[in-house]
Structure 1
Amino acid sequence: MPPNNRKQAMLPVTAEIIDNPVGTACGFAVDIGKARFFFTPGVPRELRRMLEEQIIPRLLAKSGLQTSIHLKRFHSYGLGESHVDSLLTGVEELVPDGSVKLGFRAHYPQLETKLTVRGADMDEIKRKLAPVEQEIRKRLGNFILAEDDKTLEGVILAELTSRQASLSIVETFTGGQIAARVAHLPGAERVFRRGLVARDLVELGAAVGLPRASLEGEITKETAEEVARAARKQSGATHALAVLIDLDEGPDRIEFGGTICLAIATETEAASRRSRILGGREWVRLGAVEMGLDCLRRYLQGLPVYERIDFEKT
């Protein structure tokens, strides 16, 4: 264990450990005289999370007040934190007593929007929460991927399972990370047919039975559709997702980017989109994984596959 981490584990013998859900350094609480002291890391986002989930509930319990706290979470992709903060201006004021607090946790490429709600019991909390969460769903719309403990890949699996459908995934540059998000889930064995990964598009095409000539030249939406159709037909899946990436040349800097062409194919149709993301190789990779899965979710839920996102560059 590094010395810095070892130091974080050195706490007073009588201390109560306060969990830090977003960092390595825990907090702690001790009684000094008649007062209860709370100590936390200095990172603002860690402090806020610990206050909401750990410290305030302890203080309320110590005060003797009868109260409950509930955390409601919305997971979204495509809108940055400042954009969502602006879109949700005033939602806290739908509950005038100040018992609903709005917060965010950004972890690119997703954003978690949080509502912390306090009330005498869960019935009161649900009454307070109802108009606020309804307004959030209205304002964020199709950009909401999932809520609470649900995940994007879990939503996709549920949609496919409910249709008794199956899925194959073809991807370049992302190293199989799109397929990995789905394939390990409980129940995926009934849905996930095949994942194909290659850095070279011609090799990828050969794996799904496409001639070399059809894949030479610039990657386009039409290329992605052709690959998705071939992968679906070859694997026998009802749906196929193809995510193809054309990376820039040059050093891996903030201005380094990639063009993403993706498509979802079924037996009767195909839907596709093209996007460009800057920010370096890892930023492009993470964005491509999330965009591919999100477009598949949108397709399965009957939503537009293309809506412009904040991370997209022209």
Structure 2
Amino acid sequence: MNPTLEIFSQGEEIVTGQTVDTNAAWLAQQAVQMGFTVTRHTAVGDNLNDLIELLREIARRADCCICTGGLGPTSDDLTAEAVARAFGLTLEFDEIAFAQIKRFFDNRNRPMPESNRKQAMLPEGSERIDNEWGTAPGFSLKHGRCWFAFIPGVPFEMRHLFLEKIRPTLASCFSLQPGRLVTIRTVGIGESDIQQRIATIAIPAQVQLGFRAGIDDVQTKLLFPYGYSETAMALLVSSIIEQLGNAVFGIDGLSEAAGDLVAVIDRLMQAGKHTLTVIETASQGLLAAKCIGMPWLLGTLFDRSLDRLAQRFAVPAHHDDLMATAKEIADAMKKSGGGDFALVQLYTGDDDTFHDKDQPIVLYNVLLTEDGFYQSTQTVAGPIKRKQNQAALLALDLLRRYLQHKEI
């Protein structure tokens, strides 16, 4: 059985929602990859008694705890004092820690405030964790069954300290058997549809199945235990992909990471040495923003007006047949020297419909390549930002499906 690990975030700004606790999410991913079973994320504000009580609870139930925050120089930074009181320790002045803090200020030609002396007070018996990226040293200690590491809450400092100081210690102190997380990434299909499609597939009891709906994709996650058969793993993943079909654009965890939708398209476009021009309507420039810096994107044009677009490319505006108009615009754009591929996006509805979260719009996407026209039609609803984002993703996904499968 894998050792258990808890993540403990300290700070009033976290429990009141002023700061999003990205540290806990990042640390959890790191811990799971190492082979820990992450059992809890807990956040506590700047209350000494609450901190003391939680530390004692964690010491009784967890094998390891990573605590972030509360190591600063001000009166609301209570972590070191809470640790000392929770475990019956005294705070001792660490000369080396103090010298490092003073050097931090000296190197910046700034006087060190007297309050920073507090950061050199560490619980007796703890091991200092040197911090070359800020003023707050971390520290570690073991109490009962639990090994604790206390590090600053500043994300940049926290990540450096974990990767360079804490992770090597964890690897040597614990017997870890990391599982394998395989993530199947899809676009254009929802969580409930995915679950329904794969319902007939028998997921072994030792394999954890989960779903994550993000802004730009939906991820089907399979966590395989240590030592799971590579053949059985590949077979299960293959069965799921077969049920999800062309909605799958990438798989992370079997070999190299696929990345997001744009990363997948970028590799395919550069491998084929293709170029692209785009007409945006519903996505309102977001498609171009998602592809910023991509060498294959020669240009994009945004205009909500079908009549203006038709006039610009000297084609008729078929308001009753947007797909036909999109094809004519794409053809005219490609003939004008606008790249190997032309991608045109049109949609039904006026501005009031587009802004009304209760009114759907219908997207018409056309991709013109050397092989001919490819097209897709989707209905999108929700707030304006969702419509805009979905419009960008679905247009890009038409390009991705062609590049990966040469079919839609």
Mark the runs of 5 or more structure 2 residues left unpaired by the alignment: 1-10, 29-40, 44-53, 68-169
Q: 2:346: which partner in 1?
A: 244
Cα drift, residue 142 of structure 1:
1.0
Q: 2:214 aligns with which of 89, 98, 107?
A: 107
**Is 1:165 aligned with 2:268?**
no
Distance in 2 separating the partners of 1:111 and 1:257: 21
Cα deviations across residues 227-275 of structure 1 (Å, max 9, x unaligned)?
1112222234111100112225646444312121110112562122333
- For the 8 Å contact 1:119–1:125, the answer to whether it is kept is no
Measure the CA separation in 1 of the matches of 2:300 and 2:23. 42
By how many angstroms is 1:276 displaced? 2.6
Q: Distance in 1 between matches of 2:306 and 2:12?
A: 47
Which residue does the alignment assign to 1:47?
none
- Corresponding residue SS for 1:283: helix
CA distance in 2, matches of 1:70, 1:302: 28
Q: How far, CA to CA, are the matches of 1:198 and 1:236 in structure 2?
A: 17
How far has the Cα of 1:115 moved from its partner? Answer: 0.9
Separation (CA, whole Å) in 2 of partners of 1:63 and 1:5: 30
Q: 1:182 aligns with which of 277, 285, 291?
A: 291
SS for the counterpart of 1:215 is coil
Is 1:234 paired with 2:327? no
Give yes or no for contact 1:170–1:231 (8 Å, CA) kept in 2: no
1:217 match = 319
Q: Which residue of 2 aligns with 1:74?
A: 184
Q: Which runs of 5+ in 1 are unaligned?
A: 11-16, 41-59, 306-314
Q: Do structure 1's residue 204 and structure 2's residue 209 form an aligned pair?
A: no
Q: Computing the radius of gyration over CA atoms, which structure comes out larger, 1 or 2?
A: 2
TM-score by length of 1: 0.71
- Partners of 2:213 and 2:195 in 1: how far apart? 12
Question: 1:34 and 1:268 mapped to 2: Cα distance?
Answer: 64
Deviation at 1:192, TM superposition (A): 1.6
Q: Show the counterpart of 1:134.
A: 238
Where in structure 2 are the equivalents of 1:1-314 lying within 5 Å? Answer: 4-5=13-14, 7=16, 19-21=24-26, 27=42, 30=55, 32=57, 35-36=60-61, 65-89=175-199, 91=201, 93=203, 95=204, 98-108=205-215, 110-120=217-227, 124=228, 126-148=230-252, 149=257, 150-184=259-293, 188-189=294-295, 191-207=296-312, 209-211=313-315, 214-215=316-317, 217-248=319-350, 250=352, 252-267=355-370, 269-305=372-408
TM-score (norm 2): 0.56
- Partner of 1:68, secondary structure, is coil
**Offset at 1:8?**
6.4
Alignment check: 8 A CA contact 1:221 1:273 kept:
no
SS of aligned partner of 1:271: strand
Q: Deviations over 1:174-217 (max 9, x none)?
A: 12111222233xxx22x22111111222333444x324xx1263
**Given that residues 282 and 345 in structure 2 are in contact (C-alpha distance below 8 angstroms), is that contact kept between their aligned partners in structure 1?**
no
Task: Tell me how far 1:221 sits from its aligned partner.
Answer: 0.7
> In the superposition, relative to structure 1, how do residues 176 and 220 fare at CA in structure 2: closer, same or farther (>3 Å)?
same
CA distance in 2, matches of 1:22, 1:225: 49
Task: Give the conservation status (yes or no) of the 8 Å contact 1:262–1:273.
Answer: yes
CA contact (8 A) 1:76 1:144 kept: yes
